[in-house]
Structure 1
Amino acid sequence: MKPSPTKKPTTSPAAAVCPQGEHQKAVEQALTTLGGYGTVTVDGKQSAADCAAIKKFQKRFDIRPVNGKAGPLTHSVSQRLVKSKPSNCNAGNALTACIDLTNQTTWIMSGGKVIYGPTVTRTGMAGFTTPSGSYTIHDRQTKNWSTDWDVWLPLWQRIVEGKGFHTTTTYIHNSSIGSHGCVNLLPADSQKYWNTLKTGTAVKIFGRRPGT
């Protein structure tokens, strides 16, 4: 009787690592500063852990494609978030929505602390600048029809004149366009803002969107 052939041990193939981006180290540092995206090693070298963290970040802010590569858009968004300083909002202790026009970011504060964000936004483009200043939320509608632009504005929260928070109706990272003065939000952020802000909630808008 012939002996059974010895089976070779099988090994699982190593997990594929995302391509390394031209902004690898800067993105690693930003994600470490922001926190919440997993273990990141700030060494400028792509790893499986770095790949997973960058993908998580890209999914969170709808950066396309979600490929784990530290490219220009991922780098730009991460830097905008890191540069967003709560102290620039002058919110005091009241519930306040803060809009940083310079970095195109927004967050919510209460009791002098950030309770949500920062996250990305897109405000008015050249000729339709979102005005800086202190305002309050009014005229909240789950779906508002814009008679000026013939478009539905989901989770509408008016800030000043015909400008307010609403869910973006286009790709928020298309920087070649902007809103007509409104403050565009990603769907998840728009829902959070709708659930958190109320009629009369303070809104602080400061800075200036580049190019406007």
Structure 2
Amino acid sequence: MSFQHPAHTAPRNGDQRRFQRRVVGLLGSIIAVFSLAAAPQAAAQPLVPGSSDLFANAREAAWNTRVNVHRQVDATMNPIAAQGIKSAVDNVINVIFPGLIEQKNAAIRAEQQRIAEEAAREAERLRRSNFDYGSCPKHARACIDLAKQRTWLQKDGVVQGGAVPMSSGAPGWETPKGTHRVLRKVRHEVSYIFDNAPMPYSIYFTTTGVAFHEGDVNLWSHGCIHLNHQDAVTFWNNLHIGDVVYVY
């Protein structure tokens, strides 16, 4: 005894004929709309008042009919047959209204992109509104939270990119608290006090040689702020001479 999955069962003859009549009717509607829209152009007559509206309405009607045909064949036919019908409809539309389908699809993609970007902005707004700024003042460009071993950049009091991990000075070499300013930047720096240890992307903010720089965030420093590589690059690119650095 053989068994055929319902999803692949061919429609009964009566159902198939009724569906074919619906598709033929829809295609007939398309052709009728196209004929009305194309008639002024075929006759090479100047557009009369209202004819541009007629053409625009015909385009919309063609697009709506196309959408309905696609939906119906996707819902009632197997994928191969459905694709054949959809391609036929699209070919007709592309002949009469060149670029219509791509224009509509582009508009749909743009709207989807707009919605996604709006959702992302709202999510970022909520994330920033819930951010723990501690005692860092709004005018500071960089903030350093020694207790939580985190640091971040901000602009006009709004965090940029979120807090990133860091390590600060070890006991006896504590990073000085308070308000400081960026004094100088040295891209390929080394520590002349500690055996020429590399200090890439150094951003000095005290007169005693304390700086942000790339380093192991799992190890205490001699007062500097160690940052992971990408964070060090980000701070280097965004902090400038005179910017306020607040340590608390």
TM-score (norm 1): 0.53
Counterpart contact for 1:84–1:103, Cα < 8 Å? no
Q: CA deviation at 1:87?
A: 4.3
Corresponding residue for residue 158 of structure 1: 204
Provide the C-alpha distance between the structure 1 equivalents of 2:140 and 2:176, rounded to a whole number of angstroms: 20
Corresponding residue for residue 199 of structure 1: 241
Provide the C-alpha distance between the structure 2 equivalents of 1:203 and 1:124, rounded to a whole number of angstroms: 16
Corresponding residue for residue 12 of structure 2: none
Corresponding residue for residue 11 of structure 1: none
Higher Cα Rg, which structure: 2
Corresponding residue for residue 132 of structure 2: 85
Corresponding residue for residue 30 of structure 2: none
Residue 194 of structure 1 aligns to a residue whose secondary structure is helix
Corresponding residue for residue 104 of structure 1: 149
- Equivalence map 1:14-53=2 (5 Å): none
TM-score (norm 2): 0.45
CA deviation profile, 1:136-180 (whole Å, cap 9, x unmatched):
011201011211112120000001111100001x3x22xxx4000
Q: Which amino acid aligns with 1:190?
A: A
Residue 135 of structure 2 aligns to a residue whose secondary structure is helix
Corresponding residue for residue 9 of structure 1: none
Q: Which amino acid aligns with 1:178?
A: W
Provide the C-alpha distance between the structure 2 equivalents of 1:195 and 1:102, rounded to a whole number of angstroms: 26
Provide the C-alpha distance between the structure 2 equivalents of 1:131 and 1:87, rounded to a whole number of angstroms: 17
Corresponding residue for residue 167 of structure 1: 214
Q: CA deviation at 1:116?
A: 2.4
Counterpart contact for 1:143–1:153, Cα < 8 Å? yes
Residue 142 of structure 2 aligns to a residue whose secondary structure is strand
Residue 205 of structure 2 aligns to a residue whose secondary structure is strand
1:148 to 2:178 alignment: no
Q: RCO greater where, 1 or 2, for CA within 8 Å and sep 6 or more? A: 1
Provide the C-alpha distance between the structure 2 equivalents of 1:189 and 1:86, rounded to a whole number of angstroms: 19
Could you list the runs of 5+ residues in structure 2 that have no partner in the other structure? 1-122, 125-129
1:179 to 2:224 alignment: no
Corresponding residue for residue 68 of structure 1: none
1:132 to 2:177 alignment: yes
The percent identity for this pair of structures is: 29
Counterpart contact for 2:150–2:166, Cα < 8 Å? yes
Counterpart contact for 1:157–1:166, Cα < 8 Å? yes
Provide the C-alpha distance between the structure 2 equivalents of 1:186 and 1:147, rounded to a whole number of angstroms: 22
Provide the C-alpha distance between the structure 1 equivalents of 2:162 and 2:189, rounded to a whole number of angstroms: 25
Q: CA deviation at 1:192?
A: 0.4
Provide the C-alpha distance between the structure 1 equivalents of 2:180 and 2:243, rounded to a whole number of angstroms: 8
Could you list the runs of 5+ residues in structure 1 that have no partner in the other structure? 1-34, 37-82, 207-212
Runs of 4+ off more than 3 Å? none
Q: Which is strand-richer, 1 or 2?
A: 1
